[in-house]
Structure 1
Amino acid sequence: MFHKEGYKIILITVLLLAALNVISYLSINIYWIKFSVFAISVLILLLILQFFRNPGRATQINDLNIVSPVDGKVVVIEEVYEKEYFKDKRLQISIFMSPINVHVTRYPVGGIIKLSKYHPGKFLVAWHPKSSEENERTTVVIKNKIAGEVLYRQIAGALAKRIVNYAEEGQEIVQGTDSGFIKFGSRVDVFLPLHTKVNVKLNDKVKGGVSVIANAEN
């Protein structure tokens, strides 16, 4: 299963590679060159397919749980001052996605979208300390009846040149469902109330829509 953001790119890739291999087959008489063109074409196609894969995820809906919005590695767990929306201290959990991770973004909690905002910006490497404030990014705030207001931020990396965000203000959304896509290496920051219980450690690998990264107070 592939994400809809990849349909056009996959189709164009297939057509271009097919044309290249037809030309190679008809115009080149050296077998090993033909085989090399075919092998490289298959490799390119496999890389494109794996990047846009969208595996089904069975999220256990629970307002006490905050699930990871993406696949990747936990790179930050700390108290920070969130100055865009909350303007106070929050608990930040950041997850870095490499180019080989699934890049679908999922809603970490269910509820009502209170804010959905796009920010143009730079393309610093995703682990840069200032990437959360200076890179191209989106900010989404969800109002959940138990967890309160949860903010997550999609952040473009040095390779990511497009962020897709489906969240619309006033929309009621379901935990774990598709909220967008980030192309190539990137990261997502989640901002939670300070009293939230963290369930992950630095360098833990997490799965979007499945891994419970924190628990809200009941």
Structure 2
Amino acid sequence: MKLHRESKGTIVVATLIFAVLSFLAVYFLELWALVVIIPLLIIYALVFWFFRVPNRDIEDHTENVIAPVDGKVVMIKEVDEDEFIKGKAIQVSIFMSPLNVHICRYPVSGKVVYKKYHPGKYLVAWHEKSSTENERTTVAVESLTNHQVVFRQIAGYVARRIVFSCNEGDSAKAGHEFGFIKFGSRMDVFLPLDTEIICKIGDKTKGGVDIIARMKT
């Protein structure tokens, strides 16, 4: 199984903790050590599972909006996007549990025209206000269909590290990685009002593969 490059530090710490606690369990509990070691082993395995990088066939897209992350669609509504669009937009929010793949992908192809990091709170990721009050990043892409698409990585109550590697002027390719969020978190996508929304609340999404909307050309 291939692991994401963001796993290195976390896995080193997890390995040290697992080794120390297992040693102490064997030393002090002897025959009862497995009562402690087995749950520790499960947690240790989940750390590796969290940082997995699945093999996915990423296709080329022009008008399609691709799910930027693995997770569950928790919100579809018309909102005011005040940071970049500065007007009405359709917000599609996808919540990621700690068991989901946490690679963040471009939802559309085009050119990166804006990026900004915002420090903030750590409300639970499904909280509606987390989009504007939590630690987050905002990226905007001028799509191949000449639309402005904004997407936002949002840290949750557990997630305390957001990584995004894109820069203004970069070429964006739908489905390809631009960042990563550690542990539970959320991704918001803001689309033009005339966008055809294909997904619905409750849908499970596969990042880089599933089509969640389609923009007019």
Q: TM-score, normalised by structure 2?
A: 0.93
CA drift of 1:29 comes to: 6.4
The 3-state SS of whatever aligns with 2:13 is helix
Amino acid at match of 1:4: R
Identity %: 48
Tell me the alpha carbon deviations over residues 157-191 of structure 1, each in whole angstroms, 9 at most, x when there is no partner: 11111111111111113221111111121111101
Q: Relative to structure 2, which stretch is displaced further, 193-202 or 166-175?
A: 166-175
Distance 2:75 2:146 in 1: 20
Query: What is aligned with 1:31?
Result: 31
Distance 2:168 2:186 in 1: 22
CA contact (8 A) 2:163 2:179 kept: yes
Distance 1:195 1:204 in 2: 21
CA drift of 1:119 comes to: 0.4
1:55 aligns with 2:61: no
Question: Aligned pair count?
Answer: 216
Query: What is aligned with 1:16?
Result: 17
Q: Relative to structure 2, which stretch is displaced further, 97-106 or 35-44?
A: 35-44
Distance 1:98 1:82 in 2: 25
Alpha-carbon distance change, 101 to 147 in structure 1, aligned in 2, over 3 angstroms: farther
Q: Which runs of 5+ in 1 are unaligned?
A: none
Query: What is aligned with 2:111?
Result: 112
Query: What is aligned with 2:76?
Result: 77
CA contact (8 A) 2:198 2:214 kept: yes
Q: Mapping of 1:96-175 within 5 angstroms?
A: 96-146=95-145, 148-175=147-174
Q: TM-score, normalised by structure 1?
A: 0.93
CA drift of 1:116 comes to: 0.9
Amino acid at match of 1:15: L
Q: Relative to structure 2, which stretch is displaced further, 50-59 or 92-101?
A: 50-59
Q: Relative to structure 2, which stretch is displaced further, 11-20 or 82-91?
A: 11-20
CA contact (8 A) 2:63 2:144 kept: no
Q: Mapping of 1:187-206 within 5 angstroms?
A: 187-206=186-205
Q: Which runs of 5+ in 2 are unaligned?
A: none
The 3-state SS of whatever aligns with 2:201 is coil
CA contact (8 A) 1:147 1:217 kept: no
The 3-state SS of whatever aligns with 1:37 is helix
- RMSD of aligned alpha carbons: 1.6
CA contact (8 A) 1:64 1:147 kept: no
Tell me the alpha carbon deviations over residues 115-153 of structure 1, each in whole angstroms, 9 at most, x when there is no partner: 110000111111212111111100000111215221100
